[in-house]
Homo-oligomer: A and B are copies of this chain.
Amino acid sequence: MKSDIELARETKLKPITEIAKNLQLNPDDLMPYGKFKAKVNYELISEEKMQLSNLILVTAITPTKAGIGKTTTSISLAQGLELLGKKAVLALREPSLGPCFGMKGGATGGGYSQVLPMDEINLHFTGDFHAITSANNMLAALLDNYIYHNRGTDKPQLKQVIWKRVLDVNDRSLRQMVSGLGGSANGIPAETGFDITAASEIMAILCLAKDLEDLENRINNILLGYTVENAPFYVRDLGVGGAITVLLKDALHPNLVQTMEGGAAFVHGGPFANIAHGCNSLMATRMAMSTGDYVITEAGFGADLGAEKFFDIKCRLANLNPKASVLVVTSQALKMHGGVDVADISKPHTEGLENGLLNVGVHLKNLQQFGQSVVVAFNQYHFDTEAEIELVRKWCEGHGAAFALNNGFTQGGKGAIELAETVLKTIEKVPSANVKFAYALEDSIEDKIRKVVVNVYGGKFISFSPKASLMLKRINRLGLNNLPICIAKTQYSFSDNPTHLGVARDFEFKIADLIINSGAGFIVAVAGEMMRMPGLPKSPQAEQIFLQNGEIEGLS
Protein backbone atom coordinates (compact mmCIF):
# COMPACT_ATOMS: atom_id res chain seq x y z
CA MET A 1 0.00 0.00 0.00
CA LYS A 2 1.17 3.52 -0.74
CA SER A 3 2.31 5.91 1.99
CA ASP A 4 -0.10 8.37 3.59
CA ILE A 5 1.40 11.34 1.79
CA GLU A 6 1.39 9.55 -1.57
CA LEU A 7 -2.29 8.72 -1.17
CA ALA A 8 -2.98 12.28 -0.03
CA ARG A 9 -1.18 13.66 -3.07
CA GLU A 10 -3.13 11.49 -5.47
CA THR A 11 -6.43 12.79 -4.15
CA LYS A 12 -7.95 15.63 -6.11
CA LEU A 13 -9.10 18.20 -3.62
CA LYS A 14 -12.27 20.24 -3.99
CA PRO A 15 -12.10 23.98 -3.44
CA ILE A 16 -12.93 24.69 0.19
CA THR A 17 -15.79 26.92 -0.98
CA GLU A 18 -17.44 23.81 -2.41
CA ILE A 19 -17.05 21.89 0.85
CA ALA A 20 -18.53 24.90 2.63
CA LYS A 21 -21.41 25.09 0.19
CA ASN A 22 -22.40 21.52 1.07
CA LEU A 23 -22.76 22.80 4.65
CA GLN A 24 -24.90 25.73 3.46
CA LEU A 25 -22.02 28.09 4.20
CA ASN A 26 -21.46 31.00 1.83
CA PRO A 27 -18.04 32.21 0.66
CA ASP A 28 -18.63 35.30 2.82
CA ASP A 29 -18.71 33.10 5.92
CA LEU A 30 -15.17 31.90 5.20
CA MET A 31 -11.74 33.31 5.88
CA PRO A 32 -9.76 31.32 3.30
CA TYR A 33 -6.18 30.20 3.96
CA GLY A 34 -5.15 29.14 0.51
CA LYS A 35 -7.64 27.24 -1.62
CA PHE A 36 -8.26 24.24 0.61
CA LYS A 37 -8.42 25.56 4.15
CA ALA A 38 -10.68 28.18 5.68
CA LYS A 39 -11.62 29.57 9.02
CA VAL A 40 -15.37 29.74 9.47
CA ASN A 41 -17.19 32.54 11.23
CA TYR A 42 -18.29 31.07 14.56
CA GLU A 43 -21.24 33.40 14.72
CA LEU A 44 -23.00 30.90 12.48
CA ILE A 45 -23.21 28.44 15.37
CA SER A 46 -26.88 27.72 15.95
CA GLU A 47 -28.19 26.14 19.16
CA GLU A 48 -31.32 25.24 17.27
CA LYS A 49 -29.49 23.31 14.57
CA MET A 50 -27.25 21.70 17.20
CA GLN A 51 -30.30 20.16 18.81
CA LEU A 52 -31.09 18.29 15.59
CA SER A 53 -27.56 16.98 15.17
CA ASN A 54 -26.33 13.55 16.32
CA LEU A 55 -23.01 13.74 18.12
CA ILE A 56 -20.85 10.60 18.08
CA LEU A 57 -17.78 10.21 20.28
CA VAL A 58 -14.91 8.04 19.07
CA THR A 59 -12.75 6.74 21.89
CA ALA A 60 -10.57 3.68 22.41
CA ILE A 61 -9.43 0.99 24.75
CA THR A 62 -6.06 1.43 26.46
CA PRO A 63 -3.74 2.02 23.49
CA THR A 64 -0.43 0.51 22.47
CA LYS A 65 2.62 2.72 22.01
CA ALA A 66 1.71 2.99 18.31
CA GLY A 67 -1.78 4.27 19.11
CA ILE A 68 -4.91 2.51 18.03
CA GLY A 69 -6.25 4.53 15.10
CA LYS A 70 -8.95 6.73 16.64
CA THR A 71 -8.51 9.53 14.13
CA THR A 72 -8.43 7.17 11.16
CA THR A 73 -11.53 5.42 12.51
CA SER A 74 -13.31 8.75 13.01
CA ILE A 75 -12.56 9.85 9.46
CA SER A 76 -13.55 6.50 7.97
CA LEU A 77 -16.83 6.56 9.90
CA ALA A 78 -17.63 10.00 8.53
CA GLN A 79 -16.77 8.83 5.03
CA GLY A 80 -18.91 5.72 5.49
CA LEU A 81 -21.87 7.77 6.70
CA GLU A 82 -21.53 10.04 3.67
CA LEU A 83 -21.59 7.01 1.37
CA LEU A 84 -24.86 6.07 3.04
CA GLY A 85 -26.23 9.48 2.08
CA LYS A 86 -25.92 11.09 5.48
CA LYS A 87 -24.53 14.56 6.09
CA ALA A 88 -21.58 13.73 8.33
CA VAL A 89 -19.15 16.34 9.65
CA LEU A 90 -15.95 15.70 11.61
CA ALA A 91 -14.65 17.68 14.58
CA LEU A 92 -11.01 16.76 15.18
CA ARG A 93 -7.89 18.04 16.89
CA GLU A 94 -5.12 19.76 14.98
CA PRO A 95 -1.64 18.24 14.92
CA SER A 96 1.45 19.61 16.65
CA LEU A 97 4.71 20.26 14.80
CA GLY A 98 6.76 18.73 17.60
CA PRO A 99 5.74 15.06 17.20
CA CYS A 100 5.35 15.56 13.45
CA PHE A 101 9.10 16.21 13.14
CA GLY A 102 9.90 13.84 15.99
CA MET A 103 8.54 10.33 16.13
CA LYS A 104 4.79 10.06 16.34
CA GLY A 105 4.02 11.70 13.01
CA GLY A 106 1.08 13.92 12.19
CA ALA A 107 -2.52 13.57 13.24
CA THR A 108 -4.58 13.61 10.09
CA GLY A 109 -5.58 9.95 9.93
CA GLY A 110 -4.01 7.46 7.58
CA GLY A 111 -4.37 5.30 4.51
CA TYR A 112 -7.64 6.00 2.71
CA SER A 113 -9.09 7.83 5.70
CA GLN A 114 -7.31 11.15 5.97
CA VAL A 115 -8.22 14.80 6.25
CA LEU A 116 -6.60 16.96 3.58
CA PRO A 117 -4.44 18.81 2.69
CA MET A 118 -2.53 16.64 5.17
CA ASP A 119 0.81 18.36 4.64
CA GLU A 120 -0.57 21.82 5.33
CA ILE A 121 -2.65 20.64 8.30
CA ASN A 122 0.43 18.94 9.77
CA LEU A 123 2.66 21.96 9.20
CA HIS A 124 1.58 25.53 9.97
CA PHE A 125 -2.12 24.99 9.07
CA THR A 126 -3.94 28.26 9.79
CA GLY A 127 -1.49 29.42 12.42
CA ASP A 128 -3.52 28.53 15.52
CA PHE A 129 -0.62 26.88 17.33
CA HIS A 130 1.59 29.83 16.43
CA ALA A 131 -0.96 32.29 17.77
CA ILE A 132 -1.09 30.35 21.03
CA THR A 133 2.71 30.24 21.24
CA SER A 134 2.77 34.00 20.68
CA ALA A 135 0.05 34.74 23.21
CA ASN A 136 1.60 32.45 25.84
CA ASN A 137 5.07 33.93 25.47
CA MET A 138 3.90 37.53 25.16
CA LEU A 139 2.19 36.97 28.51
CA ALA A 140 5.42 35.56 29.98
CA ALA A 141 7.41 38.56 28.72
CA LEU A 142 4.84 41.03 30.07
CA LEU A 143 4.85 39.29 33.44
CA ASP A 144 8.64 39.22 33.73
CA ASN A 145 8.68 42.84 32.59
CA TYR A 146 6.18 43.80 35.30
CA ILE A 147 8.31 42.13 37.94
CA TYR A 148 11.48 43.72 36.57
CA HIS A 149 10.23 47.30 36.40
CA ASN A 150 8.26 47.21 39.64
CA ARG A 151 10.90 45.90 42.01
CA GLY A 152 10.72 47.88 45.21
CA THR A 153 7.64 49.86 44.20
CA ASP A 154 4.34 49.68 46.05
CA LYS A 155 2.87 47.46 43.35
CA PRO A 156 2.31 43.78 44.24
CA GLN A 157 5.64 41.96 44.43
CA LEU A 158 5.70 38.36 43.23
CA LYS A 159 7.44 35.62 45.16
CA GLN A 160 6.50 32.78 42.83
CA VAL A 161 5.79 32.62 39.10
CA ILE A 162 4.03 29.52 37.79
CA TRP A 163 3.57 30.66 34.19
CA LYS A 164 5.97 29.01 31.75
CA ARG A 165 6.83 29.63 28.13
CA VAL A 166 5.96 27.29 25.25
CA LEU A 167 7.24 26.30 21.81
CA ASP A 168 5.71 23.90 19.29
CA VAL A 169 8.77 21.70 19.10
CA ASN A 170 10.11 18.62 20.89
CA ASP A 171 13.07 20.06 22.75
CA ARG A 172 14.26 18.47 25.97
CA SER A 173 16.92 21.16 26.45
CA LEU A 174 14.21 23.70 27.18
CA ARG A 175 12.50 21.76 29.97
CA GLN A 176 14.50 23.30 32.76
CA MET A 177 16.60 26.43 32.62
CA VAL A 178 17.74 29.49 34.47
CA SER A 179 16.78 32.61 32.53
CA GLY A 180 17.47 36.30 33.15
CA LEU A 181 21.23 35.84 33.40
CA GLY A 182 23.86 38.33 32.29
CA GLY A 183 23.45 41.16 34.75
CA SER A 184 20.64 43.41 35.83
CA ALA A 185 19.95 44.86 32.36
CA ASN A 186 18.93 41.39 31.27
CA GLY A 187 16.15 40.62 33.68
CA ILE A 188 16.07 38.74 36.96
CA PRO A 189 17.52 35.23 37.22
CA ALA A 190 14.72 32.70 37.49
CA GLU A 191 14.22 28.95 37.35
CA THR A 192 11.82 28.31 34.52
CA GLY A 193 11.29 26.23 31.37
CA PHE A 194 9.31 25.65 28.23
CA ASP A 195 6.40 23.29 27.64
CA ILE A 196 5.22 22.23 24.21
CA THR A 197 2.51 24.55 22.85
CA ALA A 198 -0.22 21.91 23.10
CA ALA A 199 0.40 21.93 26.87
CA SER A 200 -0.24 25.65 27.24
CA GLU A 201 -3.23 26.60 29.36
CA ILE A 202 -4.06 29.00 26.55
CA MET A 203 -4.58 26.02 24.24
CA ALA A 204 -7.07 24.54 26.72
CA ILE A 205 -8.76 27.93 27.02
CA LEU A 206 -9.08 28.32 23.26
CA CYS A 207 -10.68 24.87 23.13
CA LEU A 208 -13.25 25.62 25.83
CA ALA A 209 -14.17 29.24 25.03
CA LYS A 210 -17.75 29.85 23.93
CA ASP A 211 -17.08 33.21 22.32
CA LEU A 212 -14.59 36.06 22.28
CA GLU A 213 -15.88 37.50 25.55
CA ASP A 214 -15.60 34.13 27.26
CA LEU A 215 -12.09 33.78 25.84
CA GLU A 216 -11.07 37.12 27.32
CA ASN A 217 -12.59 36.27 30.70
CA ARG A 218 -10.73 32.98 30.80
CA ILE A 219 -7.47 34.68 29.82
CA ASN A 220 -7.99 37.20 32.61
CA ASN A 221 -8.57 34.33 35.05
CA ILE A 222 -5.23 32.63 34.38
CA LEU A 223 -3.25 32.29 37.59
CA LEU A 224 0.30 33.53 36.97
CA GLY A 225 1.80 33.24 40.41
CA TYR A 226 1.64 34.43 44.01
CA THR A 227 2.60 37.67 45.67
CA VAL A 228 4.79 37.97 48.73
CA GLU A 229 1.53 38.36 50.68
CA ASN A 230 0.57 34.92 49.33
CA ALA A 231 -2.22 36.42 47.26
CA PRO A 232 -2.94 34.98 43.82
CA PHE A 233 -1.79 37.09 40.88
CA TYR A 234 -3.97 36.70 37.80
CA VAL A 235 -3.69 38.02 34.25
CA ARG A 236 -6.35 40.58 35.16
CA ASP A 237 -3.95 41.93 37.80
CA LEU A 238 -1.35 42.39 35.09
CA GLY A 239 -3.86 44.25 32.93
CA VAL A 240 -2.99 42.65 29.60
CA GLY A 241 -5.93 40.29 29.06
CA GLY A 242 -7.12 42.42 26.17
CA ALA A 243 -3.81 42.34 24.33
CA ILE A 244 -3.49 38.58 24.74
CA THR A 245 -7.06 38.11 23.49
CA VAL A 246 -6.25 40.25 20.43
CA LEU A 247 -3.50 37.75 19.57
CA LEU A 248 -6.07 34.92 19.67
CA LYS A 249 -8.94 36.62 17.88
CA ASP A 250 -8.50 34.80 14.58
CA ALA A 251 -7.38 31.52 16.11
CA LEU A 252 -10.77 31.18 17.83
CA HIS A 253 -12.52 30.56 14.50
CA PRO A 254 -12.71 26.85 13.64
CA ASN A 255 -10.88 25.53 10.58
CA LEU A 256 -12.69 23.77 7.77
CA VAL A 257 -10.93 21.16 5.62
CA GLN A 258 -12.05 18.02 3.77
CA THR A 259 -11.82 14.27 4.02
CA MET A 260 -10.28 12.21 1.24
CA GLU A 261 -13.78 11.58 -0.04
CA GLY A 262 -14.82 15.22 -0.02
CA GLY A 263 -16.63 15.35 3.30
CA ALA A 264 -16.35 18.27 5.72
CA ALA A 265 -14.03 18.31 8.72
CA PHE A 266 -13.52 21.00 11.35
CA VAL A 267 -9.98 20.56 12.65
CA HIS A 268 -9.38 22.93 15.51
CA GLY A 269 -7.42 22.99 18.75
CA GLY A 270 -5.20 20.30 20.17
CA PRO A 271 -4.74 20.40 23.93
CA PHE A 272 -2.81 17.67 25.75
CA ALA A 273 -4.96 14.74 26.77
CA ASN A 274 -3.36 14.31 30.18
CA ILE A 275 -2.66 17.73 31.67
CA ALA A 276 -5.60 19.16 29.70
CA HIS A 277 -8.90 17.80 28.44
CA GLY A 278 -7.59 16.56 25.08
CA CYS A 279 -10.53 17.34 22.80
CA ASN A 280 -10.85 19.56 19.76
CA SER A 281 -12.31 23.01 20.38
CA LEU A 282 -15.86 23.53 21.52
CA MET A 283 -16.11 25.94 18.59
CA ALA A 284 -15.38 23.12 16.14
CA THR A 285 -17.82 20.71 17.78
CA ARG A 286 -20.58 23.31 17.90
CA MET A 287 -19.90 24.46 14.34
CA ALA A 288 -19.95 20.86 13.12
CA MET A 289 -23.24 20.27 14.96
CA SER A 290 -24.64 23.44 13.39
CA THR A 291 -23.87 22.18 9.90
CA GLY A 292 -23.98 18.36 10.01
CA ASP A 293 -26.62 15.77 10.86
CA TYR A 294 -23.98 13.39 12.21
CA VAL A 295 -20.95 14.82 13.96
CA ILE A 296 -17.98 12.59 14.70
CA THR A 297 -15.52 13.77 17.32
CA GLU A 298 -12.75 12.11 19.31
CA ALA A 299 -11.12 12.36 22.71
CA GLY A 300 -7.41 11.73 23.35
CA PHE A 301 -5.90 8.44 24.59
CA GLY A 302 -8.09 5.64 25.99
CA ALA A 303 -11.63 6.11 27.25
CA ASP A 304 -10.46 6.30 30.88
CA LEU A 305 -8.54 9.51 30.16
CA GLY A 306 -10.11 11.00 27.05
CA ALA A 307 -13.77 10.07 27.26
CA GLU A 308 -14.00 10.82 30.99
CA LYS A 309 -12.74 14.37 30.40
CA PHE A 310 -14.88 14.74 27.31
CA PHE A 311 -17.96 13.99 29.39
CA ASP A 312 -17.10 15.55 32.73
CA ILE A 313 -15.45 18.72 31.40
CA LYS A 314 -16.56 19.45 27.84
CA CYS A 315 -20.06 17.91 27.66
CA ARG A 316 -20.93 19.36 31.06
CA LEU A 317 -19.73 22.82 30.07
CA ALA A 318 -21.56 22.90 26.76
CA ASN A 319 -24.53 20.67 27.52
CA LEU A 320 -23.55 18.14 24.86
CA ASN A 321 -25.13 14.67 24.76
CA PRO A 322 -23.57 12.19 22.32
CA LYS A 323 -26.05 9.78 20.78
CA ALA A 324 -23.46 7.01 20.68
CA SER A 325 -19.85 6.25 21.54
CA VAL A 326 -17.54 4.23 19.33
CA LEU A 327 -14.89 2.23 21.19
CA VAL A 328 -11.96 1.41 18.92
CA VAL A 329 -10.16 -1.91 19.42
CA THR A 330 -7.48 -3.80 17.53
CA SER A 331 -6.49 -7.41 17.93
CA GLN A 332 -2.94 -6.28 18.70
CA ALA A 333 -4.01 -4.12 21.61
CA LEU A 334 -6.26 -6.89 22.92
CA LYS A 335 -3.42 -9.41 22.83
CA MET A 336 -1.04 -6.96 24.50
CA HIS A 337 -3.52 -6.48 27.33
CA GLY A 338 -4.07 -10.25 27.35
CA GLY A 339 -0.45 -10.81 28.30
CA VAL A 340 1.00 -11.63 24.88
CA ASP A 341 4.53 -10.39 24.29
CA VAL A 342 4.44 -7.21 22.17
CA ALA A 343 6.69 -8.91 19.58
CA ASP A 344 3.97 -11.53 19.00
CA ILE A 345 0.76 -9.49 18.96
CA SER A 346 0.46 -9.67 15.16
CA LYS A 347 0.15 -13.47 15.31
CA PRO A 348 -3.01 -15.42 16.16
CA HIS A 349 -3.41 -15.98 19.91
CA THR A 350 -6.96 -16.77 20.96
CA GLU A 351 -6.29 -16.96 24.68
CA GLY A 352 -4.43 -13.65 24.68
CA LEU A 353 -7.21 -12.03 22.72
CA GLU A 354 -9.82 -13.35 25.13
CA ASN A 355 -7.87 -12.17 28.16
CA GLY A 356 -7.50 -8.76 26.54
CA LEU A 357 -11.26 -8.39 26.42
CA LEU A 358 -11.12 -7.65 30.13
CA ASN A 359 -9.64 -4.27 29.19
CA VAL A 360 -12.51 -3.68 26.76
CA GLY A 361 -14.92 -4.70 29.48
CA VAL A 362 -13.84 -1.96 31.84
CA HIS A 363 -13.92 0.75 29.17
CA LEU A 364 -17.32 -0.50 28.02
CA LYS A 365 -18.75 -0.49 31.52
CA ASN A 366 -17.36 3.03 32.04
CA LEU A 367 -18.95 4.35 28.87
CA GLN A 368 -22.23 2.73 29.82
CA GLN A 369 -21.97 4.38 33.24
CA PHE A 370 -21.72 7.71 31.46
CA GLY A 371 -25.02 6.81 29.78
CA GLN A 372 -23.54 5.82 26.45
CA SER A 373 -24.71 3.31 23.88
CA VAL A 374 -21.50 1.79 22.58
CA VAL A 375 -20.39 0.45 19.22
CA VAL A 376 -17.13 -1.46 19.33
CA ALA A 377 -15.17 -0.73 16.12
CA PHE A 378 -12.73 -3.53 15.38
CA ASN A 379 -10.00 -2.13 13.12
CA GLN A 380 -9.19 -5.10 10.97
CA TYR A 381 -5.69 -6.18 9.99
CA HIS A 382 -4.79 -8.79 7.36
CA PHE A 383 -3.52 -11.15 10.06
CA ASP A 384 -6.80 -11.20 12.01
CA THR A 385 -8.55 -14.58 11.72
CA GLU A 386 -12.28 -15.15 11.29
CA ALA A 387 -12.33 -16.98 14.61
CA GLU A 388 -10.72 -14.08 16.46
CA ILE A 389 -13.16 -11.61 14.97
CA GLU A 390 -16.15 -13.78 15.83
CA LEU A 391 -14.90 -14.19 19.37
CA VAL A 392 -14.82 -10.43 19.87
CA ARG A 393 -18.14 -9.92 18.10
CA LYS A 394 -19.89 -12.44 20.33
CA TRP A 395 -18.30 -11.03 23.45
CA CYS A 396 -19.49 -7.53 22.60
CA GLU A 397 -23.01 -8.61 21.85
CA GLY A 398 -23.04 -10.41 25.17
CA HIS A 399 -21.98 -7.24 26.97
CA GLY A 400 -24.55 -4.84 25.60
CA ALA A 401 -22.41 -3.33 22.87
CA ALA A 402 -22.82 -3.39 19.12
CA PHE A 403 -19.90 -4.60 17.05
CA ALA A 404 -18.61 -3.64 13.63
CA LEU A 405 -15.55 -4.41 11.59
CA ASN A 406 -13.77 -1.40 10.17
CA ASN A 407 -11.48 -1.34 7.14
CA GLY A 408 -11.30 2.39 6.75
CA PHE A 409 -7.52 2.51 6.56
CA THR A 410 -7.29 0.21 3.56
CA GLN A 411 -10.60 1.03 1.88
CA GLY A 412 -11.78 4.45 3.05
CA GLY A 413 -15.52 4.99 3.49
CA LYS A 414 -16.34 1.74 1.69
CA GLY A 415 -14.46 -0.13 4.40
CA ALA A 416 -16.47 1.61 7.10
CA ILE A 417 -19.96 0.86 5.82
CA GLU A 418 -20.57 -1.83 8.45
CA LEU A 419 -19.44 0.58 11.16
CA ALA A 420 -21.54 3.43 9.78
CA GLU A 421 -24.64 1.24 9.53
CA THR A 422 -24.15 -0.09 13.03
CA VAL A 423 -23.74 3.43 14.43
CA LEU A 424 -26.87 4.61 12.59
CA LYS A 425 -28.87 1.68 13.88
CA THR A 426 -27.66 2.26 17.42
CA ILE A 427 -28.61 5.94 17.29
CA GLU A 428 -31.99 5.05 15.84
CA LYS A 429 -32.88 2.14 18.12
CA VAL A 430 -30.98 2.64 21.36
CA PRO A 431 -29.46 6.12 21.53
CA SER A 432 -27.40 7.08 24.55
CA ALA A 433 -29.09 8.63 27.56
CA ASN A 434 -28.12 12.16 28.55
CA VAL A 435 -24.60 12.18 29.95
CA LYS A 436 -24.33 10.93 33.53
CA PHE A 437 -21.30 12.61 35.03
CA ALA A 438 -18.78 10.78 37.19
CA TYR A 439 -19.03 13.51 39.83
CA ALA A 440 -20.93 16.66 40.65
CA LEU A 441 -19.23 20.05 40.54
CA GLU A 442 -20.35 20.58 44.13
CA ASP A 443 -18.32 17.59 45.31
CA SER A 444 -15.05 18.47 47.01
CA ILE A 445 -11.91 18.15 44.92
CA GLU A 446 -10.97 15.01 46.91
CA ASP A 447 -14.37 13.45 46.25
CA LYS A 448 -14.22 14.26 42.56
CA ILE A 449 -10.86 12.55 42.28
CA ARG A 450 -12.02 9.61 44.37
CA LYS A 451 -15.13 9.08 42.25
CA VAL A 452 -13.14 9.00 39.01
CA VAL A 453 -10.41 6.78 40.44
CA VAL A 454 -12.79 4.30 42.04
CA ASN A 455 -15.64 4.26 39.53
CA VAL A 456 -13.76 4.79 36.27
CA TYR A 457 -10.20 3.57 36.84
CA GLY A 458 -11.05 0.79 39.27
CA GLY A 459 -8.66 1.94 41.97
CA LYS A 460 -9.29 1.64 45.71
CA PHE A 461 -7.13 4.07 47.67
CA ILE A 462 -6.24 7.67 46.90
CA SER A 463 -3.27 9.32 48.53
CA PHE A 464 -2.18 12.94 48.35
CA SER A 465 1.45 13.99 48.54
CA PRO A 466 2.26 16.74 51.06
CA LYS A 467 2.44 19.16 48.11
CA ALA A 468 -0.94 18.07 46.80
CA SER A 469 -2.46 18.37 50.28
CA LEU A 470 -1.16 21.92 50.53
CA MET A 471 -2.64 22.69 47.12
CA LEU A 472 -6.01 21.30 48.23
CA LYS A 473 -6.10 23.91 50.97
CA ARG A 474 -5.03 26.64 48.59
CA ILE A 475 -7.72 25.67 46.05
CA ASN A 476 -10.35 25.88 48.75
CA ARG A 477 -8.99 29.19 49.97
CA LEU A 478 -9.17 30.62 46.43
CA GLY A 479 -12.74 29.38 46.09
CA LEU A 480 -11.94 27.14 43.14
CA ASN A 481 -13.23 23.87 44.59
CA ASN A 482 -16.25 23.88 42.28
CA LEU A 483 -14.12 23.44 39.18
CA PRO A 484 -14.09 20.09 37.41
CA ILE A 485 -10.95 17.98 37.66
CA CYS A 486 -8.58 16.89 34.96
CA ILE A 487 -6.55 13.86 36.03
CA ALA A 488 -3.11 13.63 34.44
CA LYS A 489 -1.96 10.03 34.45
CA THR A 490 -0.33 7.55 32.08
CA GLN A 491 -2.39 6.57 29.03
CA TYR A 492 -1.03 3.02 29.11
CA SER A 493 -2.85 1.76 32.17
CA PHE A 494 -5.99 2.35 34.19
CA SER A 495 -3.66 2.89 37.12
CA ASP A 496 -0.84 5.39 37.59
CA ASN A 497 1.67 2.68 36.61
CA PRO A 498 2.27 2.53 32.83
CA THR A 499 3.49 -1.07 32.95
CA HIS A 500 0.24 -2.31 34.50
CA LEU A 501 -1.59 -3.44 31.35
CA GLY A 502 -4.89 -5.26 30.93
CA VAL A 503 -7.00 -4.26 33.90
CA ALA A 504 -5.68 -2.87 37.13
CA ARG A 505 -7.83 -3.34 40.22
CA ASP A 506 -7.89 -2.06 43.78
CA PHE A 507 -4.67 -0.13 43.32
CA GLU A 508 -3.54 2.89 45.28
CA PHE A 509 -3.66 6.08 43.19
CA LYS A 510 -1.13 8.68 44.23
CA ILE A 511 -1.79 12.36 43.57
CA ALA A 512 1.58 14.07 43.45
CA ASP A 513 0.40 17.59 42.72
CA LEU A 514 -2.63 19.72 41.94
CA ILE A 515 -2.32 22.45 39.35
CA ILE A 516 -4.73 25.35 39.18
CA ASN A 517 -5.87 26.10 35.63
CA SER A 518 -8.32 28.78 36.59
CA GLY A 519 -8.40 30.18 33.07
CA ALA A 520 -9.23 26.89 31.40
CA GLY A 521 -11.49 26.21 34.34
CA PHE A 522 -10.25 22.96 35.82
CA ILE A 523 -7.91 21.58 38.44
CA VAL A 524 -5.25 19.23 37.09
CA ALA A 525 -4.60 16.33 39.46
CA VAL A 526 -1.17 14.99 38.60
CA ALA A 527 -0.49 11.29 39.18
CA GLY A 528 3.11 10.51 38.39
CA GLU A 529 5.63 12.16 36.16
CA MET A 530 3.89 14.16 33.43
CA MET A 531 5.83 15.06 30.32
CA ARG A 532 4.96 18.57 29.22
CA MET A 533 7.85 18.92 26.77
CA PRO A 534 8.72 15.82 24.75
CA GLY A 535 12.20 15.08 23.44
CA LEU A 536 13.31 13.94 20.00
CA PRO A 537 14.40 10.35 19.26
CA LYS A 538 17.90 9.55 18.09
CA SER A 539 16.75 9.57 14.45
CA PRO A 540 13.94 12.10 14.31
CA GLN A 541 11.43 12.08 11.48
CA ALA A 542 12.87 15.46 10.42
CA GLU A 543 15.74 13.59 8.78
CA GLN A 544 13.21 12.00 6.38
CA ILE A 545 11.32 15.19 5.54
CA PHE A 546 12.36 17.11 2.44
CA LEU A 547 11.11 18.65 -0.78
CA GLN A 548 11.36 16.85 -4.07
CA ASN A 549 10.12 18.63 -7.17
CA GLY A 550 8.15 20.94 -4.94
CA GLU A 551 6.40 18.05 -3.16
CA ILE A 552 6.89 17.29 0.51
CA GLU A 553 8.20 13.82 1.32
CA GLY A 554 8.36 12.12 4.70
CA LEU A 555 5.24 13.40 6.43
CA SER A 556 2.89 10.78 7.84
Q: A-side interface residues toward B, CB under 8 Å?
A: 31-35, 97, 101, 123-124, 127, 130-131, 133-134, 137-138, 140-142, 144-145, 148-149, 165, 167-182, 185-188, 190, 193, 212, 216, 239-243, 245-247, 249-250, 535-536, 538, 540, 542-543, 545-547, 550, 552, 554
A173 touches B185 (CB 8 A): no
Copies, count: 2
A177 touches B181 (CB 8 A): yes
Give every chain B residue within 8 A of A241 (Cβ-Cβ): 546
User: Bound complex: CA of A141 vs CA of B103, how far in Å?
Assistant: 14
User: Bound complex: CA of A216 vs CA of B247, how far in Å?
Assistant: 31
Name the residue on B nearest A28 (C-beta).
B35
User: Bound complex: CA of A174 vs CA of B138, how far in Å?
Assistant: 12
A144 touches B173 (CB 8 A): yes
A247 touches B123 (CB 8 A): yes
Q: Do A101 and B138 contact each other (CB < 8 Å), given the known contacts A33-B32, A171-B144, A187-B173?
A: yes
Which residue in B172, B543, B552 is a CB contact (below 8 Å) of A246?
A: B552
A138 touches B243 (CB 8 A): no
Given contacts A178-B181, A216-B547, 9 further A-B contacts (CB under 8 A): A31-B34, A124-B127, A133-B133, A172-B187, A176-B180, A243-B545, A246-B546, A246-B547, A249-B552
**Chain A contact residues: over half helix, strand or loop, or mixed?**
mixed
Q: Do A546 and B176 contact each other (CB < 8 Å), given the known contacts A31-B34, A141-B169, A169-B137?
A: no
B169 touches A134 (CB 8 A): yes
B141 touches A170 (CB 8 A): yes
User: Bound complex: CA of A140 vs CA of B167, how far in Å?
Assistant: 12
Name the residue on B nearest A127 (C-beta).
B127
A179 touches B173 (CB 8 A): yes
User: Bound complex: CA of A550 vs CA of B242, how far in Å?
Assistant: 11
Tell which of A97, A165, A185, A242 has the most Cβ of chain B within 10 Å.
A242
Which residue in B33, B239, B550 is a CB contact (below 8 Å) of A212?
A: B550
B239 touches A543 (CB 8 A): yes
Give every chain B residue within 8 A of A149 (Cβ-Cβ): 538
Name the residue on B nearest A552 (C-beta).
B246
User: Bound complex: CA of A540 vs CA of B190, how far in Å?
Assistant: 22
Name the residue on B nearest A555 (C-beta).
B246
Tell which of A133, A246, A535, A543 has the most Cβ of chain B within 10 Å.
A246
Nearest chain B CB to A168's CB is how many angstroms away? 7
Nearest chain B CB to A58's CB is how many angstroms away? 30
